[in-house]
Chains A and B, each alone.
Chain A
Amino acid sequence: AQSVTQPDIHITVSEGASLELRCNYSYGATPYLFWYVQSPGQGLQLLLKYFSGDTLVQGIKGFEAEFKRSQSSFNLRKPSVHWSDAAEYFCAVGAHTGTASKLTFGTGTRLQVTL
């Protein structure tokens, strides 16, 4: 079965600083990978996804993520953080097999942005 680890529970960055949120996955084949963002009181919104091809994927709100097979990682990055980026971020991995949803979520990283 697949699994996802987000090592950082809470991260604080200054507005305008760069951001990297870590995600490591465990899966036997090339996974489907996702990053979601959750603002307070809201559901999760898809930021970006990786299925195959170019290992650097662009998402909404200026986010990008890089798939590194050798490190089993899919870290989320943003060059310059805005105060509105404060939220909780979830990495998720999807499996290929079967017809059932096999999307497994990490435990999340809460991002705080200081002005």
Chain B
Amino acid sequence: NAGVTQTPKFQVLKTGQSMTLQCAQDMNHNSMYWYRQDPGMGLRLIYYSASEGTTDKGEVPNGYNVSRLNKREFSLRLESAAPSQTSVYFCASSEAPGGKSPLHFGNGTRLTVT
């Protein structure tokens, strides 16, 4: 049982380049999320998808876009990367939306923007 799978694990971009982070879950969860983790700041929600076909902004959405491709997959796109987007990105899923359903996390993508 793979759980939540993120690709790639590592990525280095130059300022202005674009890329898409991929995420897939095999737990038949309805909700999916993208977080970024920065030292001393915990995890901050970028975007989430409460259910297939819906997406909403989280706490720090600027500079990002998302696509809920189907129930399994939720991608995060950086159209024009900036050094401030250097971070570790985590995808997560939960059975249901709302604050009661525990999150299941992928192992993260470490992104460096130079």
B4-25 near A? 1/0 per residue, CB < 8 Å: 1000000000000000000000
Number of interface residues of B (CB under 8 A): 26
Q: Are A51 and B43 in contact (CB under 8 A)?
A: no
B45 touches A (CB below 8 Å) = yes
B74 touches A (CB below 8 Å) = no
Q: Are A90 and B43 in contact (CB under 8 A)?
A: yes
Q: Are A101 and B33 in contact (CB under 8 A)?
A: yes
A99 touches B (CB below 8 Å) = yes
Given A43-B90, A43-B108, CB of A100 within 8 Å of CB of B103: no
Given A90-B43, A100-B48, CB of A43 within 8 Å of CB of B107: yes
Q: What is the predominant secondary structure among interface residues of chain A facing chain B?
A: loop
Q: Are A101 and B90 in contact (CB under 8 A)?
A: no
The distance in angstroms between the C-alpha atoms of A43 and B9, with both chains bound, is 12
Q: In the complex, which range does the number of interface residues on chain A fall in?
A: 20 to 34
Most chain B beta-carbon contacts within 10 A, residue among A44, A46, A96, A105: A44
Binds A, one of B64-72, B78-86, B92-100: B92-100
Residues in A with CB closer than 8 Å to B97 are 99-101
Q: Are B99 and A96 in contact (CB under 8 A)?
A: yes
Q: Are B31 and A107 in contact (CB under 8 A)?
A: no
Q: Are A99 and B50 in contact (CB under 8 A)?
A: yes
Q: Are B90 and A103 in contact (CB under 8 A)?
A: no
The distance in angstroms between the C-alpha atoms of A51 and B100, with both chains bound, is 7
Q: Are A43 and B4 in contact (CB under 8 A)?
A: yes
25 contacts between A and B (CB under 8 A): A4-B42, A34-B102, A36-B103, A41-B108, A43-B4, A43-B90, A43-B105, A43-B107, A43-B108, A44-B92, A90-B42, A93-B99, A94-B99, A95-B99, A96-B99, A96-B100, A100-B48, A101-B31, A101-B33, A101-B45, A101-B50, A101-B94, A101-B98, A102-B98, A105-B42
User: Nearest 8 A-B pairs (CB), nearest first?
Assistant: A94-B99, A43-B105, A107-B42, A105-B42, A102-B99, A95-B99, A105-B43, A44-B105
